[in-house]
Amino acid sequence: MSGTDYDLVLREVTALTVDPARPVIEDAVIAIRDHRLALVTSASEVPRKVTGARTLTLPGRVVTPGFVNVHTHAILTMCRGMAEDMGFAPACTPGVPKGSDVRPDEARALARLGALEALLFDLEHGPASLGDIANHLALSERTLRRRLRALGTSYNKILQDVRSSTAQEWLRDSNLTMESIAWRLGYTETANFRHAFKRWTGQSPQAFRRQLHEARAAMAAPCPPRSHFGDTFAVVAG
């Protein structure tokens, strides 16, 4: 068998395996053929030159070959903006849907929608194009557009929704500058990001961050000490 028989080769990754005897492989080489793992080993142990139709060199990345996490909460992609999606409501909250509430075809559609959202952003190269996403999902652009339309959405709507939620998260939880956030979200001009953010939220990104900081400061401020007059009044009033 020649090395070109591999469809995909990953190099210079750290592999977390399911082998108790060798749970971690540094500088690993992973090869895929016909959608199946064909090779998982260290670069020093590769018996020959390994090549494939596509090769990715990913230093510093961690890969879990053979491990598939099906606990994805894909059902929650249909309730974007609800309390569960904001991270402070338990799954048992009334009104928050559960996986058992949808049919298998609906679950597949939601999983694809979640995958599409996950593929939208690459912080080094900006948002993925519709063609890139269709290629990742093994679909034509026309088919992807049709399936998104059947779900009542579109590539552009998802892109704007993800940009909005990601911008709010970074403004809330990071010290990134407006210029850095705009660039990471795929805007070449910071002014365009500011205009878009105001369209999404009704306020500028600076006002949004300032409001959050003021709210946090108010919550962190200690309560003023009670005065003797206040104690006396409480006793008399009681």
Q: 121 — alpha (psi -120 to 50), left (phi > 0) or beta? A: beta
User: Residue 70: CB partners within 8 Å, gap ≥ 6?
Assistant: none
DSSP state of 12: E
Higher pLDDT, residue 223 or 182: 182
Distance CA 9, CA 29 (A): 7
Distance CA 15, CA 64 (A): 6
Which CATH superfamily hosts domain 3-63? Urease, subunit C, domain 1 (2.30.40.10)
Task: Record the tokens describing residue 208, joined without a space.
Answer: 């949004």
Please say if the pLDDT value at position 235 is more than 50. Answer: no
Mean pLDDT for the chain overall:
78
pLDDT of residue 68: 64
Closest Cα to residue 10, out of 36, 31, 24?
A: 31
Straight-line distance from the first to the last Cα atom of the chain, in angstroms, rounded to the nearest whole number: 91
Distance CA 50, CA 80 (A): 43
Could you tell me the pLDDT band of residue 205, with boundaries at 50, 70 and 90?
Answer: very high
Segment holding 39, helix H or strand E = strand 36-42
Taking only the tens place, the pLDDT of each residue in 109-165 is 777 777 777 767 665 566 778 888 887 777 888 988 998 888 888 888 888 988 898
Taking only the tens place, the pLDDT of each residue in 49-71 is 888 888 999 998 999 887 766 66
Distance CA 90, CA 215 (A): 24
Q: Average the pLDDT over 216-229 and give the result.
A: 59
Helices (H) and strands (E) in the chain, counts: 8, 5
- 14 by Cβ neighbours in 10 Å (0-12 / 13-18 / 19+) ranks as middle
Distance CA 194, CA 181 (A): 10
R_g of the chain computed on alpha carbons: 25
**Where are the chain's structural domains?**
3-63, 74-153, 163-220
Pairing, β 62-63 against β 6-16: parallel
Closest Cα to residue 41, out of 61, 63, 56, 73?
A: 63
Q: Which CATH architecture has domain 163-220?
A: Orthogonal Bundle (1.10)
Q: Average the pLDDT over 226-237 and give the result.
A: 39
Task: Record the tokens describing residue 87, joined without a space.
Answer: 């991270």
